[in-house]
């Protein structure tokens, strides 16, 4: 008798293997039928998906092993691909997270630097303003001090000037009271002029003027004895010097 095998459905070995309870309860969607005679009506032998429960045709053992190997290869490839995709996804996520963290840190640092710079500028401005205020106060103090010193000096100068002026007037009044003014009138003016003229004409030969000098001394002695209005008579000897075509008389000796 010839047999043929009708395979209705072969489920995946690796996706979902049936449990023991499932193997006890036959599932029409997961069964296949074996050993159907060619010359008789199909006598489908019910067999759940389990090698221990099925009587397989000897030629199907190699096919099943090949299918198992292929399924394992496909499953291994799918698992490896899934693992690779998961690894790539994790790596990409890690890189993105690192970039986001780096960007956030960079922005945070930039914001902090800007805040620090602004705060530093504000503090520097406050410091400069405080220094200017202190400097202005110091200048005002110095100005007030200098004004006070100048006022004191002006007051002392005014007092000194007043005192000096008063002392000067007192001294002048005392001198005027002590030494009264007196009139001066020349005595023997003609003979004095002749002597000066003789000395000028006979420079280095004063003996030629001795006659005029004797007459001048006699005149002076007479004037001493008589005196003008009972006053004293001063006798002075003058030296005539010509300077720039001018005759200048300089007294060189005076006596009562």
Give domain limits for the chain.
Answer: 3-86, 87-178, 189-255
Q: What is the pLDDT of residue 2?
A: 41
Q: What is the pLDDT of residue 151?
A: 92
Q: What is the pLDDT of residue 71?
A: 83
- pLDDT above 70 covers what percent of the chain? 60
Distances (CA, A) of 71 to 34, 79, 220: 22, 12, 173
Separation CA 191–CA 201 (nearest Å) = 15
pLDDT tens per residue, range 29-80: 444 444 444 444 333 344 444 444 455 556 666 777 788 888 888 888 888 8
Neighbouring CB atoms inside 10 A of 49's CB total 19
**DSSP alpha helix (H) spans, the chain:** 20-24, 60-178, 189-201, 210-226
Q: Which residues pair with 247 in a beta bridge?
A: 242
The reported pTM is 0.29
Please tell me which residue, 1 or 166, carries the higher pLDDT value: 166
Q: What is the pLDDT of residue 41?
A: 38
The mean pLDDT value for 175-182 works out to: 66
pLDDT tens per residue, range 9-32: 444 443 444 444 444 444 444 444
Let me know: does 75 contact 14? Beta carbons within 8 Å.
yes
Let me know: does 54 contact 34? Beta carbons within 8 Å.
yes
Q: Which of 52, 53, 63 is nearest to 7 (CA)?
A: 63
Lowest mean pLDDT among 134-148, 154-168, 180-194: 180-194
Q: Chain-wide mean pLDDT for the chain? A: 71
pLDDT tens per residue, range 203-254: 777 777 888 888 888 887 887 776 555 455 555 555 555 555 555 555 545 5
Let me know: does 44 contact 36? Beta carbons within 8 Å.
yes
- Whether residue 124 is predicted with pLDDT greater than 70 in this model: the reply is yes
The alpha carbon of 9 is separated from its chain's Cα centroid by a whole number of angstroms, namely: 90
Lowest mean pLDDT among 16-20, 87-91, 121-125: 16-20
Q: What is the pLDDT of residue 136?
A: 92
Q: Which residues pair with 237 in a beta bridge?
A: 253
Separation CA 144–CA 138 (nearest Å) = 10
Give the three-state DSSP class for 12: coil
Please tell me which residue, 141 or 228, carries the higher pLDDT value: 141
Separation CA 52–CA 50 (nearest Å) = 5
């Amino acid at each position: 008798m010839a047999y043929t095998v009708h395979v209705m459905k072969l489920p995946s070995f690796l996706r979902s293997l049936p449990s023991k309870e499932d193997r006890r309860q036959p599932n029409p969607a997961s069964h296949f039928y074996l050993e159907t005679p060619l010359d008789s009506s199909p006598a489908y032998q019910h067999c759940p998906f389990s090698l221990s429960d099925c009587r397989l045709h000897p030629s199907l053992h190699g096919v099943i092993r090949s299918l198992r190997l292929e399924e394992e290869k496909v499953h291994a490839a799918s698992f490896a691909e899934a693992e690779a995709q998961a690894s790539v996804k994790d790596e990409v996520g890690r890189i993105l997270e690192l970039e986001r963290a780096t960007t956030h840190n960079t922005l945070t640092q930039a914001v902090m630097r800007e805040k620090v710079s602004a705060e530093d500028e504000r503090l520097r401005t406050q410091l400069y303003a405080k220094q200017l205020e202190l400097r202005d106060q110091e200048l005002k103090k110095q100005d007030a001090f200098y004004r006070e010193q100048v006022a004191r000096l002006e007051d002392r100068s005014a007092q000194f000037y007043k005192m000096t002026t008063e002392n000067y007037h007192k001294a002048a009044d005392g001198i005027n009271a002590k030494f009264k003014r007196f009139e001066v009138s020349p005595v023997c003016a003609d003979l004095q002029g002749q002597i000066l003229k003789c000395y000028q004409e006979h420079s280095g030969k004063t003996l030629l003027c001795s006659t005029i000098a004797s007459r001048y001394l006699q005149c002076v002695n007479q004037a001493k004895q008589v005196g003008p209005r009972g006053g004293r008579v001063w006798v002075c000897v003058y030296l005539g010097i010509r300077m720039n075509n001018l005759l200048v008389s300089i007294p060189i000796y005076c006596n009562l």
